[in-house]
Amino acid sequence: MNKGSKGKKASQDSSVHDRSIHEKESSDLPLRLKSAIGDEPVAAFARRAGVSESVMRAYLSGEKRPGLDNLRGIANAAGLSIDYLVTGRSAPLKSDEAGGNKAEDTVAPYVAANDFVYLPLHRNVSASAGNGSIVWDEHDVDYLAFQSTFIRQELRANPKSLRLVRISGDSMERLLYSGDMVMVDTSITTLQAEGMYVFRIDDSISVKWLNAMPGGVIRVASENAAKYPPYEITREQADDHRFQIIGLVRWWAHTQR
């Protein structure tokens, strides 16, 4: 997510210095702010927005209304448009704002509005050659809306950790096909239980079933086992950073063909 404006003290309340939002326009602003912050601690969100925690709580309670400076910082931190925060009438996703970054420059991994969460759909994710870091394509991305109750209650996931990606290849056929979409929980980067994971080996990224075996061995299995037999990753391979779990697959969907 974008960081809040810099060069000013976090404790400064810009509403003292800037023109305040009209009272009628901002009557539902606290609700939109609460939705934007979601499960993130208020103090952490306030720091990213460049606002003190006490001031942010005053905005959330409706005791104060943010001025333009603080509103811009809040919109940047939330990945939302200023107009949406003020009026609730425009599209929630952030576009060009004066003094802000373009939406395609920094993609927020989580955007909330009303009863929905907007998850980024990345058209490409790859392993960076050499250092094994994961590269999410932040310039070719779209958003899909999910009901927040489905994410939190049915999937029991934090939407801020979720990303959507499309798979390729036929190794998971009969369950997943090339072009299908999976929801990856990037907060889970260790093998906690048998399940479907997105992971990296060297500079290759795969979606497979993973299962922990005795001796620290990880068994890797494809749905299309006749063509792609199971194999094992040893503890040594996992420990030398050749292997990295990117996240647990929480949900998937087929693409109409």
pLDDT digits (tens), the chain, 257 positions = 333 333 333 333 333 333 333 444 446 788 888 888 877 888 888 888 888 999 999 999 988 888 878 888 888 887 777 777 777 655 555 444 434 333 333 455 555 555 778 888 887 776 544 445 566 666 567 778 888 889 988 998 888 889 998 888 899 999 999 889 899 999 999 998 899 999 988 878 889 999 999 988 999 999 999 999 999 999 888 887 788 899 999 999 987 66
Inter-residue contact 79 to 94 (CB < 8 Å):
yes
What is the spatial distance between Cα 49 and Cα 122, in angstroms, rounded to a whole number?
Answer: 25
Nearest C-alpha neighbor of 160 from the set 11, 48, 27: 48
Q: How far is CA 251 from the centre of its chain?
A: 15
Quote the pTM value.
0.59
Which residue do the tokens 């210095």 mark?
Answer: 17
Distance of CA 196 to the CA centre of its chain: 19
